[in-house]
Amino acid sequence: MNLLLLNQFLKHHDVDGELIEVIDTLMIACKEIAVQLREGALAGVLGTTDNTNVQGETQKKMDVIANDILKNVLETNPLVRGMASEEEDDPVAANDDGRFLVTFDPLDGSSNIDINVSVGTIFSILEAPQNMSGDNVEAYLQEGRKQVAAGYVLYGPSATLVLSTGAGVNFFTLAHTGDFILTNENVQVPATTKEFAINMSNQRHWEPEMQNYVNDLLLGAEGPREKNYNMRWIASMVAEVHRVLTRGGIFMYPWDKRETGKPGKLRLMYEGNPMSMLIEQAGGLSTTCYTNIMDLKPTEIHQRCAVALGSSEEVEAVMEYHTGSKDGAAAALNS
């Protein structure tokens, strides 16, 4: 096996040198997060804090630790002008002359930490607009198509970096040497699938179109989809997307009527957009059930969106079910 290191791979594929520097800096932080997670209870990082984040969610201890690690490491890189995090109310300025902005979910799936299920760090890198400081919200409100890189590090049985710089998706595994080494190049999502992931406990709150779609999946070979499906649910977007990238499938977190004014549950800037870039670069589709996620114009840092992503033929089927939706409010929020 040709052991190609992350840095070597990026240089070989003519990735912008300054972008490589920022990715390398991100990996320094992710390696430290991996160490903290591996120690778990031994390091006293499990359990919750007494605080809530801007989303109104109770923070896990590792949410705070991971967020602080990423901020402290990224601000040392003069190429980083600013950062926006799920755990921060507002963007954080770093270096006035920095070229890039970084958005991140420090620890996606943190509700799973205490039961030792896979979690991950999701990140997105944008060019910083001229004459805007790193703490200016407007600087970050760019469509997903403008991302120059996106990825995540999955902390599971092995720590795996999944990365795109706009020319495909590649997997790198963290070795005992401390290096991320290429293990799967030019990953492709199969166009068809028999596997879906959704939180069925919310079924009664979905739009009728989503209920009809999932009901037809459950009818299996005897139903209109004419094949038997398996359902999966990990409750960690990074783990769900990793499964889709590895073997295909569809992952959905749709709009529901419990909070009619919100387009969905997941966050556009540091979950929806980076994951959409990865899925599209791997040949899949990523939508709100109505439109491609990366075509949405952000209006706020913590904006939410509905998500249906994965194998292209299945995502297209979801969108067909939503054509002519009777719920105009949901359609307007998600397009």
Token pair of 145 as six digits: 């198509």
CATH number, residue 52 = 3.30.540.10
The overall average pLDDT reported for the chain is 93
- Amino acid 289: pLDDT: 96
User: At which of 154, 184, 214 does a domain end?
Assistant: 184
pLDDT given for residue 39 in this prediction:
76
pLDDT of residue 52: 63
pLDDT at 81: 98
- Give a yes or no: residue 88 inside a domain: yes
pLDDT at position 161 = 98
Identify whether the C-beta of residue 299 lies closer than 8 Å to the C-beta of residue 142.
no
Instruction: Find the helix packing angle between 273-281 and 237-247, rounded to 10°.
Output: 10
Question: Looking at 127, 160, 184, which one is the last position of a domain?
Answer: 184
In this structure, are 146 and 258 located in the same domain? no
List of long-range contacts for 2-8, beta carbons under 8 Å, 24+ apart: 3/181, 3/182, 4/181, 4/182, 5/179, 5/180, 5/181, 5/182, 6/161, 6/163, 6/172, 6/179, 6/180, 6/181, 6/182
Q: Token pair of 91, please?
A: 């963007």
Share of the chain above pLDDT 70, in %: 93
- Residue-wise pLDDT tens digits, 103-123: 999 999 888 777 788 899 999
Radius of gyration, CA atoms only, the chain: 19
Residue 121 per-residue DSSP state: E
Res. 51 pLDDT band, cuts 50 70 90: low
* Same-domain check for residues 180 and 240: no
Domain that residue 173 falls in? 6-184
| Structural contact between residues 169 and 282, judged by C-beta atoms closer than 8 angstroms | yes
pLDDT of 77 strictly over 70: yes
Give the per-residue pLDDT at 151. Answer: 98
Q: Are residues 174 and 231 in the same domain?
A: no
Tell me how many domains the chain contains: 2
Query: Comparing 214 with 57, which gets the higher pLDDT?
Result: 214
pLDDT tens column, 274-306? 999 999 999 999 999 999 999 999 999 999 999
Is residue 125 within 8 A of residue 147, CB to CB? The reply is yes
Contact 174, 286 (CB under 8 A): no
In the block, residue with structure tokens 């919200």: 137
Residue 203 shares a structural domain with residue 137: no
167 and 222 in a single domain? The answer is: no
* Angular region, 297: left φ>0, alpha ψ -120 to 50, beta rest: beta
Q: Which of 184, 212, 232 is the last residue of a domain?
A: 184
Question: For 214-260, what is each residue's pLDDT tens digit?
Answer: 999 999 999 999 999 999 999 999 999 999 999 999 999 999 999 88
Which has the higher per-residue pLDDT, 117 or 1?
117
At 305 the pLDDT is 96
Task: With CA atoms as reference, report the closest residue to 265 among 315, 198, 314.
Answer: 198
Residue 48 confidence (pLDDT) above 70:
no
The whole-number average pLDDT for the span 309-323 is 97
Q: Is the pLDDT of residue 42 over 80?
A: no
Kindly report, residue by residue over 155-214, the tens digit of the pLDDT: 988 999 999 999 999 999 999 999 999 999 999 999 999 999 999 999 999 999 999 999
Query: Do 159 and 300 lie in a common domain?
Result: no
Check whether residue 12 and residue 107 sit in a common domain: yes
CATH number at residue 230: 3.40.190.80
Instruction: Grade residue 133 by pLDDT with cuts at 50, 70 and 90.
Output: very high
144 in helix, strand or coil?
helix
Structure confidence at residue 249 (pLDDT): 98
Q: With 90 as the cut, is the pLDDT of residue 3 above it?
A: no
**Residue 190 belongs to some domain of the structure:** no
What is the structure's pLDDT at 261? 87
In angstroms, rounded to a whole number, what is the distance separating the alpha carbons of residues 140 and 79? 16
Residue 293: count of CB within 10 angstroms of its CB: 28
Q: Minimum mean pLDDT among 100-104, 257-261, 269-273: which range?
A: 257-261
